[in-house]
């Protein structure tokens, strides 16, 4: 029987399949190494992204810590003898309150990382003269940031990141003063407007009494409402700026509660958690503080004839003394000061000493910022110490002038947006 396909014409499909199978077998030997190489490269890129991302997070965490360090340190640079010591301590506390390494460890800032200079581009050192220190620099390196993936492609198993921050103090754009204004004395101009640092200034509590005074109530929002005065005493008003017009309210509506609460003196059982006192309620009058002008109750030494309990405000603040010094009754405080708080209905004192309410609830409530007012407008800011509580609605009270609010050594400090030309200094980052 004759062959049906002697030339093998009809074998082509079978031969094609066989040849295709042989080609696939050969290709398989080439593709597998390529796939392996591609996986290796992709893992390398993935590791690079992950580990570099980790370094970015570590750098960001460290930078935040050093920003906090520099801002806290700069806020203490007031030109006094212990300024850089306080600045270093404040910087370390603020910086190490921040966590690094995915929030697992303290930033580890040490004393040698905090340095100071008188200019931004100056030579920074830990031993810089405190009187001239104007810039605080915090630097630190965070080592041993683990590289989890790229080490498998020959890279290092860990890396380090470093950061730097520099801050200084500059004038704030807006401020949060109390609604009482200081009037220039004898036409005096900036910076002290005729006043001596440490001099006592009289403010008539009721401006309708006709008694002349050197300070007065001025609503910072420009209104004449006594209720607005009360609100600004209790809650503050933080939109104040140079050039603003101020209002002149008449008789007050129970503002003495808010004022006296700053001394820790309350009617009945006042709530210290609402009307929080200063860290001391000790009061200064011409009866218990016999110093002549400038009286300097803030940091001076009591003159001969002063009361046996007398000491300056800074000392009393450290001791958490109350209106009665270490006593428990308003009457005991009246005996020291010569005031009479009973007609106003004030019966309760914040408790003194370590563990007392002046320590537990105390804030900076008596060293205050006030506007300097001329022609019904704010022209500058002054730093003042509230010396006395309001004993009755017709009483005068006194405050002590502590200097221009924008002076480098002013005890009035605030947080705020930098960029003003006068007024209190606020810490701001410059690098």
Query: In the predicted model, what is the mean pLDDT of residues 415-429?
Result: 82
Query: In the predicted model, what is the mean pLDDT of residues 38-59?
Result: 67
Tens of pLDDT, residues 294-310 = 999 999 999 999 999 99
Res 417: pLDDT? 77
Q: Could you tell me if 260 and 323 are in contact, meaning their C-beta atoms sit under 8 angstroms apart?
A: no
What percent of the chain clears pLDDT 90, i.e. is strictly above it? 51
Q: Where are the beta strands (DSSP E) in 238-319?
A: 265-267
Tens of pLDDT, residues 257-295 = 889 999 999 997 677 888 899 999 999 999 999 999 999
Give one DSSP letter per residue of 381-426, joined into a string: EEEEEE-----STT-EEEEEEEEETTSTT-S------B--SSS-EE
What CA–CA distances, in Å, run from 280 to 303, 323, 346?
A: 21, 8, 17
Helices marked H in 147-267 — which ranges?
226-235, 255-261
pLDDT surpassing 70 at residue 109? yes
Q: In the structure, what pLDDT confidence band is assigned to residue 12 with cuts at 50, 70 and 90?
A: very low
Query: In the predicted model, what is the mean pLDDT of residues 231-237?
Result: 80
Instruction: Assess whether the previous peptide bond of 84 is cis (omega < 30° from 0).
Output: no
Q: What tokens appear for 274 in the block?
A: 């609402």
Identify the DSSP state of 102. T
Torsion of CA 255, 257, 262, 268, to 10 degrees: 180
Lowest mean pLDDT among 8-17, 105-114, 340-349: 8-17
Crossing angle of the two packed helices 12-74 and 83-96, in degrees rounded to 10: 150
Average predicted confidence (pLDDT) for the chain = 84
Tens of pLDDT, residues 200-223 = 999 866 555 555 667 788 899 999
Res 302: pLDDT? 98
Torsion of CA 210, 211, 212, 215, to 10 degrees: -100
**Distance (Å, whole) CA 87 – CA 71:** 9
Beta bridge partners of 100: 105
Tens of pLDDT, residues 119-168 = 999 999 999 999 999 999 999 988 766 666 556 555 666 677 889 999 99
Q: In the structure, what pLDDT confidence band is assigned to residue 416 with cuts at 50, 70 and 90?
A: confident
For residue 354, give every residue at least 6 positions away whose Cβ sits within 8 Å of its Cβ, in sequence order, or none: 320
What CA–CA distances, in Å, run from 298 to 156, 309, 333?
A: 59, 15, 19
CA 267 to chain centroid, in Å, comes to: 32
pLDDT surpassing 80 at residue 47? no
Tens of pLDDT, residues 314-326 = 999 999 999 999 9
Q: What strands lie across the sheet with 158-171, from one edge to the other?
A: 114-117, 135-146, 158-171, 425-429
**Distance (Å, whole) CA 181 – CA 371:** 5
**Distance (Å, whole) CA 206 – CA 196:** 25
Res 1: pLDDT? 45
Closest by alpha carbon to 137, among 88, 78, 81, 89?
Answer: 88
Helices marked H in 263-404 — which ranges?
313-319, 330-337, 357-361
Q: What tokens appear for 196 in the block?
A: 């001596």
């Amino acid at each position: 029987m004759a062959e049906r396909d002697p030339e093998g014409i009809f074998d082509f499909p079978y031969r094609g399949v066989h040849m295709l199978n042989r080609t696939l077998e050969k290709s398989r030997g080439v593709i597998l190494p390529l796939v392996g190489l591609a996986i290796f490269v992709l893992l390398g890129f993935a590791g690079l992204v992950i580990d570099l991302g980790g370094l970015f997070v570590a750098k960001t965490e460290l930078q935040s810590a050093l920003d906090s360090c520099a801002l806290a340190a700069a806020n203490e640079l007031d030109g006094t003898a212990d300024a850089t010591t306080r600045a270093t301590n404040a910087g370390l506390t603020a910086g190490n309150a921040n966590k690094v390494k995915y929030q697992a460890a303290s930033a580890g800032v040490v004393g040698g990382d905090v340095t100071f200079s008188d200019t931004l581009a100056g030579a920074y050192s830990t031993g810089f003269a405190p009187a001239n220190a104007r810039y605080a620099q915090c630097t630190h390196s965070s080592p041993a940031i683990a590289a989890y993936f790229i080490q498998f492609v020959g890279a290092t198993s860990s890396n380090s990141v470093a950061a730097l921050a520099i801050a200084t103090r500059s004038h704030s754009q807006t401020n949060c003063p109390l609604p009482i204004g200081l009037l220039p004395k004898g036409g005096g101009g900036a910076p002290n407007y005729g006043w001596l640092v440490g001099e006592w200034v009289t403010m008539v509590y009721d401006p309708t009494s006709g008694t002349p005074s050197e300070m007065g109530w001025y609503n910072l929002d420009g209104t004449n409402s006594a209720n607005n005065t009360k609100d600004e005493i209790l809650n503050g008003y933080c939109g104040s700026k140079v050039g603003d017009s101020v209002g002149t309210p008449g008789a007050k509506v129970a503002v003495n509660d808010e004022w006296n609460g700053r001394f820790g003196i309350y009617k009945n059982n006042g709530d210290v958690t609402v009307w929080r006192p200063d860290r001391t309620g000790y009061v200064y009058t011409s009866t218990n503080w016999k110093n002549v002008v400038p009286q300097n109750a803030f940091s001076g030494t009591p003159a001969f004839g002063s009361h046996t309990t007398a000491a300056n405000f800074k000392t009393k603040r450290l001791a958490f003394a109350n209106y009665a010094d270490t006593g428990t009754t308003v009457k005991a405080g009246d005996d020291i000061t010569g005031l009479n708080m009973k007609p106003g209905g004030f019966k309760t004192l914040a408790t003194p000493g370590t563990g007392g309410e002046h320590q537990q609830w105390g804030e900076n409530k008596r060293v205050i910022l006030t506007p300097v007012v001329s022609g019904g407008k704010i022209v500058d800011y002054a730093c003042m110490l509230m010396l006395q509580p309001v004993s009755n609605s017709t009483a005068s009270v006194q405050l002590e002038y502590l200097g221009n609010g924008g002076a480098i050594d002013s005890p009035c400090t605030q947080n705020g947006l930098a960029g003003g030309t006068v007024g209190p200094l606020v810490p701001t980052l410059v690098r």
